[in-house]
């Protein structure tokens, strides 16, 4: 009989591509992960992984088992949810990982709402960018991720995750007050093709939004200054070292001295924010109220 614990290890190896990275995510030693994979191969009678210079990849048999693994683990999440509901699951801790603006915009208000409507649920919040929070959910380090769509992100129909759309927001152009377009009502992105740019590091979902928007306008942005903190991005723009695209909500309450904020001409680049949990866990009696609270706040 196949042990579910070993299926979880198989999925972690498939997600992380190396035994060492999977072991770190699961808080196991690499040798323990290798031993469990060997045991799983013995249980199934098939070779499931192949090791190479660039890491580990699944064999065709491993891919077949992985497709069933996602369904099995989702069903186990549902079983845990039903058992928790049977046991009244009215009290417990839910850990939420979110990027900073998401914390300010939806997570913190949801926490305040839950303190009134579900006082038995304790929320722990961790600051994590969208590209980091989704693997944290899959690795069971957190229960809920508030993340942003980005290239390479698991799609909405990913069998491992359940998505809950929250909100979408445009990016605005931020240019120094001395910039030639500072007096314009809207900023055509194509007019910024030769400017130096300030933006998030590669890997940050907002980096993808900026690059894709510029590519759609016909150019690659010349990113000379990088920061994942939009306050730093705006401060650099105010120092007249470049231009930027910044999510509208990230500009709320920020010192905008020295810069001008203008909407982008045409279709504005947009980041789409969603909550994600492990598939099957969306009806858990502790997690469902958190998702509902996040949705309620996002609709306000």
Return the CATH number at 143. Answer: 3.40.190.10
Summarised one tens digit per residue, pLDDT across range 74-125 is 888 888 877 776 666 667 899 999 998 899 999 999 999 999 998 888 999 9
Cα separation values, 69 from 5, 58, 59, 102, 104, Å: 10, 13, 15, 31, 36
Q: How confident is the model at residue 171 (pLDDT cuts 50, 70, 90)?
A: very high
Return the CATH number at 19. Answer: 1.10.10.10
Residues 123 and 239 in one domain: no
Residues 252 and 111 in one domain: no
Summarised one tens digit per residue, pLDDT across range 251-273 is 988 999 999 999 999 888 998 99
Average pLDDT, the chain: 90
Cβ distance 41 to 55 under 8 Å? Answer: no
Summarised one tens digit per residue, pLDDT across range 224-238 is 999 999 999 999 999
Q: How confident is the model at residue 295 (pLDDT cuts 50, 70, 90)?
A: very high
Strands 161-176 and 244-247: antiparallel
Q: What is the pLDDT of residue 204?
A: 85
Spatial distance between the Cα atoms of 173 and 117, rounded to a whole number of angstroms: 39
Residues 128 and 257 in one domain: no
| φ and ψ of 34, to 5 deg | -60, -40
Q: What is the pLDDT of residue 107?
A: 97
Q: What is the pLDDT of residue 260?
A: 97
Q: What is the pLDDT of residue 88?
A: 61
Residues 174 and 266 in one domain: yes
Residues 163 and 278 in one domain: yes
Cα separation values, 20 from 73, 76, 236, Å: 22, 26, 39
User: Domain boundary residue among 84, 110, 139?
Assistant: 84
Residue 152 has pLDDT above 80, yes or no: no
Residues 183 and 240 in one domain: yes
Residues 20 and 150 in one domain: no
Bridge partner residues of 126 (DSSP)? 97
Residue 209 has pLDDT above 80, yes or no: yes
Classified as helix, coil or strand, 230 is: helix
User: Domain boundary residue among 62, 84, 106?
Assistant: 84
- The span from the first CA to the last CA of the chain, in angstroms, equals 49
Residues 228 and 182 in one domain: yes
Residues 41 and 62 in one domain: yes
Classified as helix, coil or strand, 136 is: helix
Question: Total structural domains in the chain?
Answer: 3
Domain carrying residue 241: 168-271
Residues 103 and 252 in one domain: no
User: What single-letter DSSP state applies at residue 192?
Assistant: G
Cβ atoms within 10 A of the Cβ of 250, count? 23
Q: What is the pLDDT of residue 110?
A: 97
Q: What is the pLDDT of residue 275?
A: 97
Q: What is the pLDDT of residue 90?
A: 66
Spatial distance between the Cα atoms of 244 and 225, rounded to a whole number of angstroms: 10
Residue 177 has pLDDT above 90, yes or no: yes
Mean pLDDT of 156-181: 94
Residues 293 and 207 in one domain: no
User: Domain boundary residue among 27, 57, 84?
Assistant: 84
Spatial distance between the Cα atoms of 98 and 264, rounded to a whole number of angstroms: 26
Residue 291 has pLDDT above 70, yes or no: yes
Residues 48 and 182 in one domain: no
Cβ distance 196 to 226 under 8 Å? Answer: no
């Amino acid at each position: 009989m196949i042990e579910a614990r070993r299926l979880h290890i198989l999925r972690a190896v498939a997600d992380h591509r190396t035994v060492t990275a999977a072991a770190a995510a699961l808080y196991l030693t690499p040798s323990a992960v290798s031993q469990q994979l060997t045991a799983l191969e013995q249980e199934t009678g098939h070779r499931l992984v192949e090791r190479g210079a660039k890491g580990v990849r699944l064999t065709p048999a491993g891919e077949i088992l992985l497709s069933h693994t996602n369904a099995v683990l989702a069903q186990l999440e549902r079983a845990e949810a039903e058992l928790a509901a049977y046991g009244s699951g009215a009290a417990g801790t839910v850990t939420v990982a979110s990027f900073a603006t998401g914390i300010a915009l939806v997570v913190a208000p949801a926490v305040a709402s839950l303190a009134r409507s579900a006082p038995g649920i304790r929320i722990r919040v961790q600051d994590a960018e969208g590209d980091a929070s989704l693997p944290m959910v899959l690795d069971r380090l957190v229960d809920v991720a508030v993340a942003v769509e980005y290239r390479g992100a698991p799609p909405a129909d990913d069998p491992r995750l359940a998505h809950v759309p929250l909100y979408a927001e445009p990016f605005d152009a931020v240019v120094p007050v001395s910039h030639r377009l500072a007096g314009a009502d809207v900023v055509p992105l194509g007019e910024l093709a030769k400017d130096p740019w300030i933006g998030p590091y590669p890997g940050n979902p907002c980096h993808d939004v900026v690059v894709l928007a510029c590519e759609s306008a016909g150019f690659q942005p010349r990113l000379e200054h990088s920061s994942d903190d939009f306050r730093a991005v705006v401060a650099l723009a105010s120092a007249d070292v470049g231009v930027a695209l910044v999510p509208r909500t990230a500009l709320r309450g920020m010192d905008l001295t020295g810069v001008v904020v203008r909407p982008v001409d045409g279709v504005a680049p947009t980041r789409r924010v969603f909550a994600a949990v492990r598939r099957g866990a969306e009806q858990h009696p502790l997690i469902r109220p958190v998702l509902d609270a996040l949705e309620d706040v996002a609709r306000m």
